[in-house]
Amino acid sequence: MIQKLLTQFETIANALATDGIAVVDDFLSREEVQSIVAEDDFKNGLLRFKRAGIGQAQEHQINESVRGDFIQWIDPAKSSSPIQIYLQRMNELRGFLNESLFISLKDIEVHKTIYPPGSYYKRHLDQFKKDDHRKLSAILYLNEDWQETDGGQLRVYFPDRQKDYFPLAGRLICFRSDLLEHEVLPTQRARMSLTGWMLDQLNDLKHL
Ligand code: OGA
Ligand code: MN
């Protein structure tokens, strides 16, 4: 297990250093994904989560033409054990990246996310203009049996090309928040994920 984790972490570190993005298909096991999805708030997410906005604080606004997802910020102190397992693994990855890439990521912030059918998130960069503490974006997808016809691809824009990734259960996609513009193409099916960032400062939990 330790060996497997190290290999996976090394793969992520290498890919981030060379391409600015890493894609790992079995970051969480099927069982781990299922226990997160089975949680009551995920099952009822469209009722319980809030419409996501754009910008922060005073500039925070909800704009359906830009993004249509529903989110719920995770409070690590109050989270369930399946979520805690994920947060712990993300923090282990953070520590590994700090040592192997000589960077200094101090904390993570994560929200649960559901895109209802028909929704999308237009092309954007994850760093806010006035708050560039998000260094790495890390999204863990939770969708069993996703078909190509379900859409909902993450489209990533590189300087010379673009690439699409399906939101497959257990897949982690990690990329440079300051560099890579991306979008979520319209989804035909409810699309679930844990969306997070690695920060260069402690999370002040102001979202909670
Ligand atoms: C985001 C985002 C991509 C995805 O929440 O900022 O770009 O694939 N998500 O869910
Ligand atoms: Mn984004």
> pLDDT tens-digit profile of 167-192?
999 999 999 999 999 999 999 999 99
Q: Counting atoms of ligand 1 from 1, which one is nearest the CA of 69?
A: 5
Section 47-63 average pLDDT: 74
Helix (H) or strand (E) holding 48: helix 45-48
Nearest CA to ligand 1 atom 8: 154
State the CATH architecture for 2-51+66-199.
Sandwich (2.60)
Give percent of the chain above pLDDT 90: 79
Ligand 1 probe mutation, 114, 150, 154, 175, most atoms within 8 A of CB: 154
Q: Domain locations in the chain?
A: 2-51+66-199
Would you state the pLDDT for residue 129? Answer: 66
pLDDT at 62: 67
Identify how many contiguous H helices and E strands the chain contains and give both numbers: 5, 11
Mean pLDDT check: name the lowest of 28-37, 102-111, 126-135, 174-183.
126-135
Residue 168's pLDDT is 98
Cα distance between residue 82 and residue 72, in whole Å: 16
Determine the average pLDDT of the residues in 44-60.
76
* Per-residue confidence (pLDDT) for residue 183, from 0 to 100: 98
Could you give the CA distance from residue 187 to residue 203 in angstroms, rounded to a whole number? 30
For ligand 1, atom 5, name the residue with the nearest CA: 195
Is the separation of the CB atoms in 137 and 201 below 8 Å?
Answer: no
Which one is predicted more confidently, 177 or 131? 177
Asked if 132 contacts 126 with a C-beta cutoff of 8 angstroms, the reply is: no
**Region 190-208 average pLDDT:** 91
Q: Is 60 exposed, middle or buried (0-12, 13-18, 19+ CB in 10 A)?
A: exposed
Residues 6+ apart with CB under 8 A from 185: 120, 151, 152, 153, 154, 155, 164
CA distances from 205 to 77, 198, 199, 202 (A): 11, 13, 12, 9
Residues with CB under 6 A from ligand 1: 121, 126, 139, 154, 167, 182, 184, 193, 195
The mean per-residue pLDDT over the stretch 133-160 comes to 97
Average pLDDT, the chain: 92
Q: How far is the CA of 126 from the centre of ligand 2 (A)?
A: 5
Tell me: pLDDT of 57 over 80: no
Calpha distance 152→165 (Å, rounded): 9
Ligand 1 nearest-atom number relative to CA 191: 10
User: Where residue 207 falls among pLDDT bands split at 50, 70, 90?
Assistant: confident
Going by pLDDT thresholds of 50, 70 and 90, the confidence category of residue 45 is confident
Q: 67 C-alpha to center of ligand 1: Å?
A: 10
